[in-house]
Amino acid sequence: MPAPTFPPEIIASVVKNVDDRPTLELCALAASVFLEPSQRQLYGLLKLRYDKDPQEAARGSDPEYRTYAAAAAHFEAFPHLAKYVSSIHVVLGAIRPVALPAVGAMFLRLQHVRYCELHGSGQPVDWLLEWPIVVAWLSTQTGLKHLAVYNVSKIPRVALRAMLNAALSLELSFGAEVGHPERDANYHPAPPSSKSSVLRRLNVLTCETFETLARSREFAGYFKSLTALTMTADRENRLCFAAADSLQELSLSFPQAPESASLSSSASDSTLDASELPNDSDLATSIRLPGSLPLLRNLRLMIDDFSGPQDGPYLPLTLLSALVGAAPRLGRVTLQLCDIPLSLLADISSASPATRSGIFTSAVGQALDELLLPIGAVVWTPGDFYPDTSDTDPISSFAYAQLIDITVAGLKSSLPRTDAGGRLSMEA
């Protein structure tokens, strides 16, 4: 009697909705009807956490995560399953030394990963034991599309090189820090791979991190082909556009309004022309701008600490003016403003003068219009917003909203170098 067959949709639904993962994995290994569809679903995402001590493990753990030791034993017994793993979440820290050889062998079996996240655990990552496993694995990867690193401090520079070689897109965020060269002196990595990807997208937590890397001979070459760059700009960091000739998308996040909105070394000068911006690397408040961004089409400024006009709203108008003037192909400018009072969002879609004046002071609103109107029509659109439920007063609650989105078909005409277009005051 032939074995029963089931439509793939039923198998997919069973795998998706049944919580008994160990039983599903046994079925996937034992029953031919389960092989291809369920194995791909079950092993497409692999989550690895650091090995816990026996007492902690006995208290239970997240069923979605495997310990390194358990995962290594599983893939050693069933090596063919490794081909299904396309995404991995790795928690670094405290791998038991006895498990290191098996864990290293397991990583080398994972040759079809497209997306990888490396998370810190709060425990220091062993420079001589754990990092070599990560570096050896990254050096064999040729199809990694995106690599994200969260809360991993003091990343060895040799590990960073492996990341830059392996991924098309790299994100260093939430506490990811690059280590010091002197710490790398005692670190002996695996030989570099003969194949490497060309980094296209970079997301870094601070401009300082990017500038340090871009200025060094060791890393500068990695950033020459970037098409998309996202980074945080605050008054203690300087921008360095090593990829100015290739950038097509640029996103800058301002976590806090600077104490002085001027780009000048003098606090009294707040109306600098783009050509007059300081280029002195010793000025902590100066912003280094490229002479030209010839391919830039999308510009996004994210203001994380925006306040109403009564508090003196912060908009980096001088920086925006300089960037607009440097990008002849700019087609979209998006401003994302946070901490907007809900009371100001009621009529945002109407874009009425009253609504606009409620968000900006008249001086800031007029300056913004004069800057952006030469690009195209200013379209005010509401975005997703999340009320602050901690405050019972809806008037004083805050929300997140995307407020301005300017789109232009074709190429932008050159901006006139007027006081409105080229010399905008940063202060209302």
State the pLDDT confidence band at 137, using cuts at 50, 70 and 90: very high
* pLDDT digits 0-9 by tens, 98-120: 788 888 899 999 999 999 999 88
Phi, psi for 402 (deg, rounded to 5): -90, 120
Contact of 154 with 181, CB cutoff 8 Å: no
301-331: b or e for each residue (b if 16 or more CB lie within 10 Å)?
bbbbebbbbeeebbbbbbbbbbbbbbbbebb
Percent of the chain, pLDDT > 70? 51
Query: Taking CA 186 as the corner, what is the angle to CA 51 and CA 69, rounded to the nearest 5 degrees?
Result: 15
pLDDT tens by residue, 288-345: 667 789 999 888 887 765 554 454 455 677 778 888 888 888 888 877 766 655 555 5
Contact 226, 275 (CB under 8 A): no
Phi, then psi, of 174 in degrees rounded to 5: 50, 60
pLDDT digits (tens, 9 = 90+) for 8-62: 677 777 777 777 777 777 776 666 666 676 777 778 888 887 665 444 444 445 5
Q: Where are the beta strands (DSSP E) in 58-208?
A: 65-67, 87-92, 115-120, 144-150, 167-173, 201-204
Instruction: Output 62-65 pairs: Cβ under 8 A, ≥24 positions apart.
Output: 63/19, 63/21, 65/89, 65/91
- Best mean pLDDT range from 147-151, 229-233, 271-275, 307-311: 147-151
Q: How far is CA 140 from the centre of its chain?
A: 24
Mean pLDDT for the chain overall: 67
Q: CB pairs under 8 A, 24+ apart, for 184-188?
A: 184/156, 184/157, 184/158, 186/127, 186/128, 187/127, 187/128, 187/131, 187/132, 187/156, 187/158, 188/132
The whole-angstrom separation of Cα 102 and Cα 48 is 14
Beta strands 144-150 and 115-120 are parallel
The pLDDT of 336-358, averaged and rounded, is 53
Would you say residue 187 has pLDDT above 70?
no
Tell me the pLDDT band of 173, cut-offs 50, 70 and 90: confident
The DSSP code for 110 is -
Per-residue pLDDT, 146? 95
Q: Has this prediction a pTM greater than 0.75?
A: no
The pLDDT-based confidence of 426 (bands split at 50, 70, 90) is: very low
- What's the one-letter identity of residue 169? S
Locate 264 and state its tokens: 């000048």
